[in-house]
A and B are shown apart, each in its own frame.
Chain A
Amino acid sequence: MSLARMELRATYAFVERNANLIKRYWGWEVAWIAYSVANSVAVVLIAKSANAAVGREAFDEAAVDRLVLFLAVGAVVWHYISVLFGTVSQMVAWERWEGTIEYTFMAPVRRLTQMVGTAIFSVLYGLVHTACIVAVIALVFGLELHGADLLAAGVVMLAGSLSLIGLGTMGAVLPLLYPERGEQMAWVVQAALVLVSGVYALPEQMPEPLRTLSAFSPATYLIQGMRDALLDGAGLGTLWPTVVGLFLAGLLLIPAGVWVFRQGERYAKRTGRLKRSG
């Protein structure tokens, strides 16, 4: 049997296993989607009460609609980033919690294969979650997307996913090295990433040092590209520098993430941290 076929099977093992876990924990999935939808709708509702909040008719109807879309893109992308980064970065924490970490790390599987399998699942999972939120927001707010370039938005999202997978893989080293608090540390990193990336505010409007930090986050360009495509109808002809930049950042960050993770794994094996419990 060829090595490539074995690696493909192993890649699929992670996708299938995670899908089975979702199926078995369906109650949590329903709760998580309901929470995410409620959260996103609550954010977008801010736009609807913008005039009431400032006490005068500061925004006309078109401006309110644009603000709805601006916040909706932010809410949806926030969720997508959270799911993608979270699923990849928590893969070790999940295994440690279930007690299978030693078994998976003892199996004849390259770490890159494990990352790819986890990443494929997390992209699919993130897209399904995001689609649910988009559907509810569109229904509640009657979103007008006539001028939007959905293809360009999708391409930007996928190109940006590569960087998030790389960063998530780096984040996964925290639960590996810190059995007790690594999971919480990864959550803090995730929160910081979303904060500095301008989900609900343009980076140029943010205070320092957030503004400077936002320039280093690939998620900043992902969100900006999504807004350009959905709010202003920018096509791939306009957005190609963003797509290429995100793609190149992904090409850099994925191997960097795997390298960081492998160093962490080596350290964990030296110090005995690769075990089921903290």
Chain B
Amino acid sequence: MAGGEHERSGTALARTNGSLALEVEGVSKFFGGRRWWPFGNGRPRRVVAVDRVSFTVPRGEIFGILGPNGTGKSTLIRLISTLLLPDEGRIRVFGLDVVRDEAKVKRHINRVSVEAAFFKKLSPMENLIYAARLYGLEGGYARRQIVRILESLGIEGRAIRAPMEDMSRGMQQKVAIARAFLTSPTLLLLDEPTTGLDPHSKRDVQEFVLRLREEHDTTVVLTTHDMVEAEELCDRVAIFDAGRIVALDAPARLKEEVSRQLGRPATLEDVFLALTGKPLEQPEEVFDE
């Protein structure tokens, strides 16, 4: 299933149209293993966070990366978002190399991570106007857009100008989504954006992701360990284990395949268990992502 027929035909079509949003080719990332200081106990352990990963994402697709904590999902997102340098392989965003063409790639992407990264004493307006200016937006236009987007997410009135530390986590995450929306990214990287949110906030965030694709033709790469979310949002999913992709296909096709093996209807959870031999919920991280 990894790099299967579905993946190949999609990639081939996208290449022909020149519409690949993301190309990841043989990418690896290692941490540790070097010691500059000659003293100390032994050599630090070298951890393979991402291990020769390859896949492509056509423009407009919502692509899921599934796996438990510590399997390298966040590392892969950081590599795509130029926050880490790959040790092997290459990554291209709309044909631009993330290392060589870093500045141009940054104009295409935005990222929402599991923790809403904001100046907590500042208000949503102050945080978002900062983001807007970083992305070159004019102040007056940005302010109008910020109010419009936040209101559409149910953040209105005084809440827009009150410190973010007074907001619930769900509300903060909505502001994070609004920030991504504001800068109109063509590739949006969502790193477990709904983890820890209440069902209502989770639903709002998921609807907003779908709206982003509809209204802005945004390609979305989503990491999650929520199988229901993956099934509802993603056109295709890659199942990650120990830094490697062990399967890549549409959720329905993955389930079909495993259903045949099991002789009963399979869930994505069953797919994960069948392919990795592990349950999806694993509390301890293998390494620091």
- Where the two chains meet, the residues of A that have a C-beta atom closer than 8 Å to any C-beta of B are 1, 5-6, 9-10, 12-13, 16-17, 20-21, 24-25, 98-100, 102-110, 266, 269-272, 274-276
Contact = CB atoms under 8 A, between A and B. Distances in A.
Contacts of B15: none
Interface string B53-71: 0000000000000000000
Interface string B102-114: 0100110111010
B133 interface: yes
30 contacts: A9-B136, A9-B139, A12-B133, A13-B130, A16-B129, A17-B119, A17-B130, A20-B122, A21-B121, A24-B121, A99-B117, A106-B83, A106-B109, A106-B110, A106-B111, A107-B106, A107-B134, A107-B135, A108-B103, A108-B106, A108-B135, A109-B134, A110-B103, A271-B31, A272-B75, A272-B78, A274-B83, A274-B84, A275-B78, A275-B83
Interface residues of B, number: 36
A106 B82 contact: yes
Nearest to B81: A106
A111 to B, nearest CB: 10
B41 to A, nearest CB: 19
Interface of B: 31, 75, 78, 81-85, 87, 103, 106-107, 109-111, 113, 115, 117-122, 126, 129-131, 133-139, 163, 288
Contacts of B135: 107-108
Which residue of A13, A20, A103, A276 has the most chain B CB atoms within 10 A of its CB atom?
Answer: A103
A39 B196 CA distance: 47
Contacts of B115: 99, 276
Contacts of B121: 21, 24-25
Nearest to B121: A24
Given A102-B83, A106-B109, A270-B87, 17 more contacts: A10-B136, A12-B133, A16-B133, A17-B126, A20-B122, A20-B126, A21-B119, A98-B119, A100-B118, A100-B119, A108-B136, A109-B134, A269-B82, A269-B83, A270-B85, A272-B84, A274-B83
Nearest to A105: B83
Contact of A9 (B113, B126, B133): B133
A271 B130 CA distance: 28
Given A13-B130, A16-B133, A271-B31, A266 B119 contact: no
Q: Which 8 A-B pairs have the closest CB atoms?
A: A13-B133, A6-B136, A108-B106, A24-B121, A107-B134, A17-B130, A103-B117, A108-B107
A272 B85 CA distance: 9
A275 B111 CA distance: 14
Contacts of A21: 119, 121-122
Contacts of A266: 85
Contacts of A9: 133, 136-139
A106 to B, nearest CB: 5
A104 B135 CA distance: 10
A259 B126 CA distance: 31
A109 B103 CA distance: 8
Contact of A107 (B85, B122, B129, B131): B131
A266 B83 CA distance: 9
Contacts of B31: 271-272
B134 A13 contact: yes
B250 to A, nearest CB: 30
Contacts of A270: 84-85, 87
A1 B118 CA distance: 27
Contacts of A10: 133-134, 136
A175 to B, nearest CB: 16
B177 to A, nearest CB: 13
Contact of A269 (B84, B111, B122, B163): B84
Nearest to B288: A272
A24 B163 contact: yes
Given A21-B122, A99-B115, A108 B84 contact: no
Nearest to B176: A103
A106 B106 contact: yes
B133 A99 contact: no
A109 B122 CA distance: 21
Contacts of A105: 83
A259 to B, nearest CB: 17
